[in-house]
Amino acid sequence: MATINSKSLARIAAIQAMYQLSTPDNTNNLSKIKSQILDYYKSSNIYEDLDIEDSSTKIKVNHTLFNNLIDTTLANVDHIDRVIRENLDKEASFENLPENSKAILRLGATELIFMPDIPSVVVVSEYTNIASSMLKESEIGLVNSVLDSMKDSRKKE
């Protein structure tokens, strides 16, 4: 039986939650959003959505990482946004970034800033890979560039 990386799924699920929280028509509270997303990853639709033909493939979200990512990001969003702005290219404006790009950058930044036990090269690679399936080509480059810059700053500390 094949298994999809539970930490990668936690990151994708956290991006989905952060995106939902950012939408203007969001009427759900955080615990309801978390519950809905985790329920989705338990449903049979997930196999079709992820283009998985073998239904014996084990799909499990790492709940601890999922919750830590969201809770840490929300508790520190002002600091995280400031660090992202500091690492953005001069031509880019944080305010003009699409919400899904912001969600990816915020969660990647959360891991780089607040989860030093996770190797920074893993963080950059994971979020760049995730971005490649969710964003336009130019946005993928921006995610990689910003997180890579933050990774380099992390090494200096």
Q: What is the pLDDT of residue 62?
A: 93
User: Using the 8-state DSSP alphabet, how is residue 95 labeled?
Assistant: G
117: domain CATH number is: 1.10.940.10
Q: Is residue 1 part of a domain?
A: no
How many domains does the chain fold into?
A: 1
**CB distance 120 to 155 below 8 Å:** yes
Q: Is residue 20 part of a domain?
A: yes
Q: Is residue 87 part of a domain?
A: yes
Contacts of 48 (CB under 8 A, 6+ apart): none
Q: What is the pLDDT of residue 48?
A: 73
State the Cα–Cα distance between residues 86 and 77, nearest whole angstrom.
14
State the Cα–Cα distance between residues 12 and 151, nearest whole angstrom.
20
Write down the pTM of the prediction.
0.90
Structure confidence by residue, pLDDT tens digits, 33-54: 999 999 988 876 777 776 777 7
State the Cα–Cα distance between residues 17 and 76, nearest whole angstrom.
16
**CB distance 84 to 146 below 8 Å:** yes
Summarize the confidence of residues 102-123 as an average pLDDT: 96
Q: Is residue 78 part of a domain?
A: yes
- Tokens encoding 140: 């993928």
Confidence label for 28 from pLDDT (cuts 50, 70 and 90): low
User: Count of H helices and E strands in the chain?
Assistant: 8, 0
Domain holding 104, by residue range, is 6-156
Question: Which residue type does 84 have?
Answer: I
**CB distance 87 to 94 below 8 Å:** no
Q: Is residue 55 part of a domain?
A: yes
Q: What is the pLDDT of residue 14?
A: 97
